[in-house]
Each structure stands twice: as C-alpha cells, then as structure tokens.
Amino acid sequence: MSVKDTQSLETICVHAGVEPDPKHGAIMTPIYQTSTYVQPAPGQPLTYDYSRGGNPTRAALETSLAALERAKHALSYASGLAAEQAIMQVLEPGARVIVSEDVYGGTGRLFRKLFARYGFQFDFLDLRDLNAVAAAVDNKTQLIWVETPTNPLLRIVDIAGICAIAKKAGAKVVVDNTFTSPIFQQPLSLGADLVIHSTTKYIGGHSDLIGGALMTNDDELAEKLRFVQFAGGAVNSPFECFMLLRSIKTLALRMERHNTNALAFARSLEDSGDFQSVIYPGLESHPQHALARKQMSGFAGVVSVYLKRDMAGVTRFLQNLRLIALAESLGGVESLANHPEQTTHASVPPELRQKLGINAQLVRFSIGIENVNDLIADVRQALQR
C-alpha cells in the first residue's frame, strides 16, 4: 500500500519517501555519501551534479518531511537555526517581522544580534492577544513568526486567528511546530504559509543529530527557499539524512508515549503541592487548555514548573536528579531537565525575562519514553534530598 492510499500519519511515518533500492532491493534508503556525480556530457547530469544542490538521501528525507506536514514542499537544513536564516533571507530588505515575545532564545538572539543589523525590524508581542496583533500589523509587516506551544512557557497561540489577521495585511505566517511535531499539530491546515522544525528534537528523537526543516504549500516561496538552500549550503550530510529517515519511522509511536507520560507526570506534580505551578497544555488548569484541545490532537512531552526554592535550592534539586539528566534540548527518548534562565534563554534581555517569568524558579522538563512512575519517583527523591 502506497502513502497515497492512506491518510494515516502512522503509515506516512513508516513509508513516505522510502522506496526499495532498484539495483539491489535494499528496503532502507542508501546513504549516498558522495560530494559529486559523474556526468555523461558537460552540463548534462543524470539527476544531481553536486551534493550541496541535491542528494538522493536528502531528497528521500524531504519527501518524508513534506508528507508528515501534508505539504507540497519540504527542505532540510543543517540545523533549525539554519532553516530560520533561510526564511529571513527570502524576505525583502527592511522587512518588519512580528514575533512571539517568548520565542526560543536562539531565535531571539538570531533576530536581535544578527538580522537587526541589516535593517530588519522585529517586534516581540504576546501573540495570544489577537487584538494587539491586529493593531500592530502594518503595510511593512511581511511575516508573523509564531511559536505554539511557546518555549519554555508553553503558551498557546491561535494559529487560525493569527493567519486571518496576516491574510488581511498581505503578510505570511510561519509556525514553529517543533514542540508538538507534525503528529499533534498541522499548522498548514490552519492557514499557515510555512512550518519550521528543529529536527534535532522530536523528529530526530534520539539526541544524536542536529537538523532543521521547512515545509510549505507555496510554490513561489519554496522556489526562493530552495535557491537559498543551494546558494547558502546549510544542508545536512547524507548520514544525518539517513538517521532522520530512520527516526521518522517511529515518530508516531514515540509521540504517543511522550504525550501519555508527560500528562501523567504533570498531573502528579500538580497534585503533589510541591511546586508553585505546573504548566502543561494537557492540564485542565492551563489557561488555554480549550484552545490547545481545538488545534492540537496531543500535547507532546514538555512540562514546565516553578519550584518553591531559591536559585541555590533549584540548583541542588537539578543536581539531585538521578534518572532525568540536566541538559539543554528536548524531544529525545530520554528525559531531560533544563534551566532556561541560565541556558536556552540566557540571551534574552534580562528585563524581558523578568517580564515573562523566565526566572530562577523555572525548570523545563522534556519527558521521555521511560516508565513514568520512575520519572515521578526521581523528582520526589530530588525534592527530598
């Protein structure tokens, strides 16, 4: 059965982009570890001429990524930030971009420290407030940059609402879908023009590679992005493409376990009374739980908490964890704990961190696929110690 015969994401994960090798019948896509390709005549390559411009392993990966987001086009990059740079490089000079105010720290750093130097204007807003967004959009606004859920506060942004505002203004909408994966959220179906992923996270899923991806149904935008990908050269190696293809096969299964574990973990921590607050879109206590249920089919594996400790106490708690590792990143099969103020969001201006509540008490958990009771027990013993 081909992918075209089914609408199931579980089947797409296993089959999209993967065809048996016609020469030997290998069921897995080969790693075409080559930089260049022999041409039968000058300027007449068989398919590819140089692996920066195209590679069979990367082509298979991009086909799979497009199918996951039900998109016409997908482009794979060496990192999530490389994909973000490609988006900025197709905008017109002097463009205005409206951005989620609690966007991932690396994205904010890229905008504030790099692209702002070249005449781009960035306005960081609370995108939950659609009236404020509508009032802020003007004829120079080329792009609205959405994260939902946001990192690390797990705010939920109304994708369809933002897209309606952007459409009236002639602006495009990009949605960072990293925190949910294509399994639980489909921004293109809600009106977004472009979806971005750090494939390092859930799509890679094993904390062993770095990558990024863009997906779109816009032919003109895809053509521009493809040129930037070729001209800039920030592409994955064939080996990393192979690794991502392997990981995608289990994506749906992994996301189901991440989601189940994270909900049980969040409920246990909330019920314990040991935390100032527990933030997870799947909890009824989340202020935007209804919106999350409307536009997401699952809530993935990130849980943020505020501890009832000062910085020294938070540090001791993190050091006392035995099973959950203290590390940056998320989305791997193993559980991680991260301190955003000191790591992923350290580059955010201090006054904005204070306003948002990214402070010493905030800890972000990436819940893996272990037995959730073991994870809960690990938190309890760390608190007691």
Q: Where are the chain's structural domains?
A: 9-247, 252-384
- State pLDDT tens for residues 245-283: 999 999 999 999 999 999 999 999 999 999 999 999 999
* Residue 345 near residue 152, CB atoms below 8 Å: yes
Is residue 77 flagged as an active site residue? Answer: no
- In whole angstroms, give the CA distance from residue 213 to residue 55: 16
Beta pairing partners, 122: 97
Active-site residue (options: 37, 49, 52, 109): 52
Q: What is the mean pLDDT of the chain?
A: 95
If you average pLDDT over residues 134-143, what whole number do you get?
A: 95
Scanning the structure block, which residue is given the tokens 């979806």? 195
- In the CATH hierarchy, which fold is given to the domain comprising 9-247? Aspartate Aminotransferase; domain 2 (3.40.640)
Beta strands in the chain, from DSSP E residues, in sequence order:
73-77, 96-100, 121-125, 141-147, 172-176, 194-197, 212-216, 275-279, 302-307, 325-326, 336-338, 362-366
pLDDT of amino acid 84: 98
* 33 alpha-carbon distance from chain centroid: 27
- Can you count the helices (H) and strands (E) in the chain? 14, 12
Which of the following is catalytic: 48, 104, 202, 280? 104
What's the pLDDT score for residue 291? 98
> 6 pLDDT band (50/70/90 cuts)?
low
The DSSP symbol for 189 reads G
Cα dist from 241 to 52, 109, 332, whole Å:
13, 27, 17
Q: How far is CA 169 from its chain centroid?
A: 26
Q: How large is the average pLDDT for residues 30-50?
A: 94
Of 201, 254, 267, 364, which residue is the catalytic one?
201
Q: What is the mean pLDDT of the segment spanning 233-241?
A: 96
Core vs surface per residue 126-141: b (16+ CB within 10 A) or e: ebbeeeebeebbeeeb
Residue 167 among the catalytic residues: no
pTM above 0.75, yes or no: yes
Is 50 exposed, middle or buried (CB count within 10 Å of its CB: 0-12, 13-18, 19+)? middle
In one letter, which amino acid is 230? F
**pLDDT at residue 180, rounded to an integer:** 97
% of residues, the chain, pLDDT over 90? 92
Q: Which amino acid is at 41?
A: A
Q: What's domain 252-384's architecture?
A: Alpha-Beta Complex (3.90)
- Mean pLDDT of the region 134-162: 97
215 C-beta neighbours (distance < 10 Å), count: 27
Task: Give the mean model confidence (pLDDT) for residues 204-229.
Answer: 98
The pLDDT assigned to 88 comes to 97
pLDDT tens, position by position, 299-356: 999 999 999 999 999 999 999 999 999 999 999 999 999 999 998 898 889 999 999 9
Candidate list 158, 176, 193, 378, residue with the active-site label: 176
Tokens matching residue 286: 């989340």
Q: What is the mean pLDDT of residues 32-44?
A: 94
Please compute Rg for the chain using Cα positions. Answer: 21
pLDDT-above-70 percentage for the chain = 98
